[in-house]
Amino acid sequence: MGVEGVGNLYVHFPFCRGKCTYCALRSSPAHDAGIREKYVSRLADAVRRIGAHSLRTVYFGGGTPALCDLDPLLSALSPRLAPDCEFTVELHPLDVSPNLLKTLKDGGVNRISMGVQSLDDDVLAHMRRGYTFHDAERSFYLVKEHFDNAGIDLIVGYPGETAALTPRHARLAKWGLRHCSAYSLILEEKSALAALVSAGGPSHPELPDDDAVMNRVSVVSRFLEDIGLGRYEISNYAAPGCECRHNMATWSGEDYIGLGDGAHGRIGRMRTRDWWGSLEEGAPHVEEVNEAFDRKERRIFSLRTRNGLDAKDWPEWTTTLDKFADEGLLRKSGTIYRLTERGAEVCDSILAEL
């Protein structure tokens, strides 16, 4: 499969210390160092074989990338990075150390996304994250000593979370965030949290209803905008010029290579999964979609971004989009439709109807 002209690369690391309560993603325990070493070796070999050069964005996600020795993969990637490549690595707060940060920076990494998830210690404990707010704060300050372009992830709507801002938000405002992803909690069917919720009873967590979650999202959104992070996608906020270029490329319809166990890719009309680097030796999944599906997929997800969806070439969408505009979920400007704040919370329903 030719990927020479593809400028975006996503690499997935499926290893975790343990399963967070809200997670139902495919993941593997990180206990066996030999498995992790073999996995990175296969990824590095894939990078050398696939022929991609002048990569404009690279993103290491997981899972927890730093549970692996990343040196072989960083070395394989180094000659393939464009001079202005945005190179992101996701970090867990417990991973952060001066040696790791130096290794990443020397390897071409210039952007860090740290998964904080909550500012509440009781919520963090229930999530099984393994650290406190103060641990995360110390880790992020250390990240900022090495990387100015750094941000965090938060989950909004977890049981036990307060609906109001707290003194810890005032502390967060001083972290120097350049980016924040604030995701509404999705109760995944096979997650530990789903099992706890379904068990019921006074000792089990109760999910806030949809209106309560939307209210919490609005509170967090206003807070982030007040500290200088503008909303540029449904769940993503950034300082000017610090929008995640990798994700914007995906939402804007560009091709991207996906390497590793559980990773997805889009190359022309080919859709890939588990392409090079799967933990199992089976063949990767590669599917060719038809031209109509390809065109629609590349266009439709632009609705998630502040740039909006230009329906000029899609007259069959106009009636549906106008209906949502009349309901106050979209703003219309000519042929361009953009989500309102309320629309951002139900975007998946809008996309499903299209």
pLDDT, tens digit (0-9, with 9 covering 90-100), for 292-338? 999 999 999 999 999 999 999 898 999 999 999 999 999 999 999 99
Asked, for residue 328, whether it belongs to a domain, the answer is yes
Look up residue 52 and give its two tokens.
């991609």
In DSSP notation, 276-310 reads S--SS-SPPEEEEPPHHHHHHHHHHGGGGBTT-EE
**For the residues 102-107, what does the mean pLDDT come to?**
97
**Same structural domain for residues 22 and 138?**
yes
Please tell me the least confidently modeled range out of 40-44, 59-63, 274-278: 274-278
Integer angstrom CA distances of residue 347 from 189, 208, 230, 305, 308:
21, 19, 18, 11, 12
User: Can you tell me which residue has the tokens 């991609």?
Assistant: 52
Alpha-carbon torsion (237, 243, 245, 246), positive or negative: negative
* Residues 218, 222, 226: CA angle, nearest 5 degrees: 170
Taking the C-alpha atoms of residue 132 and residue 226, their distance in angstroms, rounded to an integer, is: 25
229 with 102, same domain: the answer is yes
223 closest CA partner among 282, 158, 278, 170: 170
Mean pLDDT over all residues of the chain? 92
Q: Kindly indicate the confidence band of residue 135, based on its pLDDT and cuts at 50, 70 and 90.
A: very high
Residues 165, 49, single domain; the answer is: yes
Q: Residues 180, 306: one domain?
A: no
In angstroms, the CA 80 to CA 354 distance is 38
Say whether pLDDT at 21 is over 90: yes
Q: At what angle do helices 98-106 and 133-146 cross, to 10 degrees?
A: 40
pLDDT at 163 (0 to 100): 85
Q: Is residue 151 part of a domain?
A: yes
Predicted pLDDT of residue 329: 95
Mean pLDDT of 157-183: 95
Q: 62 - beta bridge partners? A: 13
Tell me which of 48-57, 144-153, 197-206, 335-344 is least confident. Answer: 197-206
Which of 232, 250, 268 terminates a domain? The answer is 250
CA-to-CA separations, 232 to 240, 248, 341, in angstroms, rounded: 10, 9, 12
Q: Which two tokens stand for residue 334?
A: 């000519």
What's the pLDDT band for 2 if we cut at 50, 70, 90? low
Q: Is 52 within a domain?
A: yes
Predicted confidence (pLDDT) at residue 279 exceeds the cutoff of 70: no
Q: What pLDDT is recorded for position 50?
A: 83
* Cα within 13 Å of Cα(293), Cβ side: 9
Q: What is the pLDDT of residue 25?
A: 81
| Mean pLDDT, residues 137-143 | 98
Identify which has the larger pLDDT, 28 or 140: 140
| Domain count within the chain | 2
Distance CA 13, CA 1 (A): 22
- The predicted pLDDT at position 277 comes to 57
User: Comparing 93 with 282, which gets the higher pLDDT?
Assistant: 93
Predicted confidence at residue 281, as pLDDT, reads 56
Question: In this structure, are 233 and 312 located in the same domain?
Answer: no
- Residue 178 and residue 150 in contact, taking contact as beta carbons nearer than 8 Å: yes
In a shared domain, residues 326 and 221: no
Q: Do 42 and 164 fall into the same domain?
A: yes
Strands (E), 63-178: 81-91, 111-117, 150-156
Do both 324 and 241 map to the same domain? no
* More confident site: 146 or 204: 146
Does residue 273 sit within a domain?
Answer: no
Amino acid 28: pLDDT:
77
**223 and 308 share a domain?**
no
Q: At residue 110, does pLDDT exceed 70? A: yes
Does a structural domain hold residue 267? no
Q: What is the pLDDT of residues 199-236, one digit of tens each?
A: 876 667 788 988 899 899 999 999 999 999 999 999 99
Does residue 194 form part of some domain? yes
In the numeric block, which tokens belong to residue 263? 């990773």
pLDDT at 136: 98
Q: What is the CATH number of the domain that holds 105?
A: 3.20.20.70
Residue 183, pLDDT > 60, answer yes
User: Do 218 and 345 fall within a single domain?
Assistant: no
Q: What is the percent of the chain with per-residue pLDDT over 70, rounded to a whole number?
A: 96
Mean pLDDT for 181-205 is 85
Residue 51 lies in a domain: yes
Amino acid at site 33: A
Its domain, for residue 336, covers 302-354
Q: Are residues 198 and 340 in the same domain?
A: no
d(Cα 215, Cα 233) in Å, to the nearest integer? 18
C-beta separation of 27 from 16 below 8 A? yes
Contact 187, 181 (CB under 8 A): no
State which H helix or E strand residue 325 sits in. helix 318-326
323 phi and psi, to 5 degrees?
-60, -45
Do both 18 and 126 map to the same domain? yes
Q: Best-predicted range by mean pLDDT among 26-40, 76-90, 181-195?
A: 76-90
CA–CA distance, 197 with 135 (Å, rounded to integer): 28
- Domain end: 215, 250, 285, which one? 250
